[in-house]
Amino acid sequence: MSQLLQRIDVDLRSNSEPSERGKLLARKSAYLARIGSFDEAKALVGVLRRDFADSKSSNVTVWIMLTEGLIHYYERLGIEALDRIVRAQLLSTAMGDTELAAITSAWRSHLEFERSDFKAMIGSIDSTFKFASPENYAAQTRVSMVLSDCHFLCGDRANGQKWFLRSRDTALKEGDQASIEALLYNKAAFAIAWQRAQSCFRPVAPEDLSLLRLELASARNLQDIAGINALSHVVHLCEARLLLLEGKYDQGASKLQSIRDAAPYGEYNFNQSMIDLEIAYCTFRLDPTTKRSSVQNWEFDALDIDEQMLAAWMISEIYLGNANAVDADAITHRLNEKKKLYSDSIAGLQAMLMKFSNA
């Protein structure tokens, strides 16, 4: 059990004030959701909904709303998560509860980052720093994690590491084992995302692949030790995609096939067409003479722009090696278009992050 969870349990045993107990139970439920103990998390929310049904405490009501949002996110990656957390952030801000406003703003920035809504994310990060005291470790940990993820997604390891260490420091102070595990996973996942995107422009250096392998192994080992089950299948997706970067197409195809029907995934970085395309790409790399299935018109526009670019690149790799390829000009045009959109998106994010360079 994490130190944070132990401390919450100690406080629950010594505190009889209803609103304080409600807040503690909501924080416990949120933590349980983050480690994948969804039945326990939902049971606590049920108790809170019963005990605070007549809105004895608006503060606890908003804590419940935040907790429900995190359950939706970690269990299903559902759109309801963002709706709940946005409402919780607006209400806590209106109430003048700066502790809760900072925490909900930080979580809102996390979900907006996940959806590549970078402009909205910057606004939520600003709100977090506006409301968060240095001792608000929950908000400081989460917002620093989001900034770390942003920099690793842009290939900026120096700034990514700076915010990684800040997030890790506040997580250690709070005893938040789940955030420490998430930090390690996110560092590996977004570094892999960066290198996957760069593979559309140039080969990935062997030393970069070795570093990615070490970072992903560290994240996986800590996850196993800590017994954290939430979104564990997403680690398997990262492992499969790293195998493709390493040129281990047989293992990669097998791994992709094994997680093809797993859930949940965010619709912004996963759909069945993308997995099928990645498997087709592995098949092509293993045997270029294999008959090509028709994938040019599969739908990828709901994905993040880096995934759209990767789809266009894999299609070009599969088809343009064929002297008789149909629609070669259209395939090349689509790839170039997606490369520009991706490059513009990363440049825009980097420009927006400059305001936090001295934070």
Q: What is the pLDDT of residue 139?
A: 98
Q: What is the pLDDT of residue 179?
A: 94
Q: What is the pLDDT of residue 268?
A: 56
**Is residue 191 in a domain?**
no
- pLDDT tens-digit series, residues 261-316: 765 555 656 677 888 899 999 999 998 877 666 665 667 888 999 999 999 999 99
**Is residue 257 in a domain?**
no
Q: What is the pLDDT of residue 80?
A: 87
**Average pLDDT over all residues of the chain:** 90
Phi, psi of 57 (to 5 degrees): -140, 115
CA dist list (Å): 199 to 70, 108, 286, 323, 334: 34, 31, 18, 23, 17
Range of the domain at 93: 15-133
Does the CA dihedral 76-80-83-87 come out positive or negative? Answer: negative
End-to-end CA distance of the chain: 33
Residue 249 gets the label, from left (phi > 0), alpha (psi -120 to 50) or beta, of alpha
Q: What is the pLDDT of residue 168?
A: 97
**Is residue 265 in a domain?**
no
Q: What is the pLDDT of residue 265?
A: 58
How many structural domains are present in the chain?
1
Q: How many other CB atoms sit within 10 Å of the CB of residue 214?
A: 11
Give the burial class of 202: count Cβ atoms within 10 A of its Cβ; 0-12 exposed, 13-18 middle, 19 or more buried: exposed
**Is residue 214 in a domain?**
no
The DSSP string of 200-234 is TTSPPPHHHHHHHHHHHHHHHHHHHHHT--TTHHH
Give the separation between CA 139 and CA 130, rounded to whole angstroms: 11
Q: What is the pLDDT of residue 299?
A: 73
Q: Mean pLDDT, consecutive 10-residue segments, the chain of 359 residues?
A: 91 93 96 94 95 81 96 87 96 96 98 95 98 98 98 97 98 94 92 96 95 90 62 78 96 90 60 87 88 66 92 90 69 95 98 92
Give the separation between CA 63 and CA 232, rounded to whole angstroms: 26
**Is residue 224 in a domain?**
no
**Is residue 147 in a domain?**
no
Q: What is the pLDDT of residue 78?
A: 74
**Is residue 78 in a domain?**
yes
**Is residue 36 in a domain?**
yes
